[in-house]
Structure 1
Amino acid sequence: MSDNTKSTDTDAETPDEYATAPRSPEELTSDSPFTLPGFFAALDEGRLLAAACEACGTRLVPPRPACYDCGSRDLRIERQPETGEVVSYTEVRTAPPALADRAPYTVAIVELDSEARLTGRLTVPYADAAIGMPVEFSVRAPEADEREMALAHEQDWPIHEFDPA
């Protein structure tokens, strides 16, 4: 998984006015998938989105209005595959106070089949995780303790996790 030029489908459900990166601050509205509220709204609808850089092929998850590899603003929104593999992982033993009863838990960096990378909780114990482990992306509603530690505008954002494939 190292060729940055892999193609995935443009997200057909993204309105045309939000399909490419905003060119001005006025175009960057909260319902744009290039913002965190827009990204999480798409997740809530079952769509995992990335910004694909037309200049260098990098995929940014969550989408951003400029590429962090080359600085280009020539980006388009595309839907991402929900499968990938673990490229790194760690065990969280000392969790934030609101999540202390969940510790220890495993957090992983997953390279999706499109080569985009995303960090998230792995739903298996640390001892069962492995580099190269195939996983599937899943989304669920936040539980009360997760809402407790979120900012007010984030409390209903869905939680993403990776399950063994």
Structure 2
Amino acid sequence: MYSKDQASKLKQAFWTAFGQYIAPQLSAEGLRVNWVNYKTGIKHLHFKLHADKKSAFIGIELSHPDTGVQELLFEQFKEFRNILNGYLNEDWEWQLHMTDENHKIVSRIFTTLPDVSVFKEEDWPKLISFFKPRIIALDEFWCDAAQSFEVFK
């Protein structure tokens, strides 16, 4: 078991390592991107990467405090489901109105990698191999789809 400080330092070390690893990768538009804190340009719409002691996930998170607006965003993504799946080359889970780790109502489109721990450095290559192609695919998708979400700015 790690102290809070040790756990925080290990997580920070992983995200720093991942950020450095993926930093040379340019966006679909040929720009430098902060991949770990990807900016969609739409408030309450994030590409989220998360890893803890049991698993990891990457996804699109809709966190608008108005659940009606959240549902509209979710429906807009449903219109793009086939296109999104084409970029990802896999089907992700779709959850409307779930409770996140901070007890807030969010909606997510995501995929999970089970049985890995951000606290085990030997799992870091698996985590990086999981996150990298998917965040790049999300960026490519977003490059094509972002205009359709401008109404939510």
Query: Which TM-score applies when normalising by structure 1?
Result: 0.25
RCO higher in structure (CA 8 A, sep ≥6): 2
Query: Which TM-score applies when normalising by structure 2?
Result: 0.26
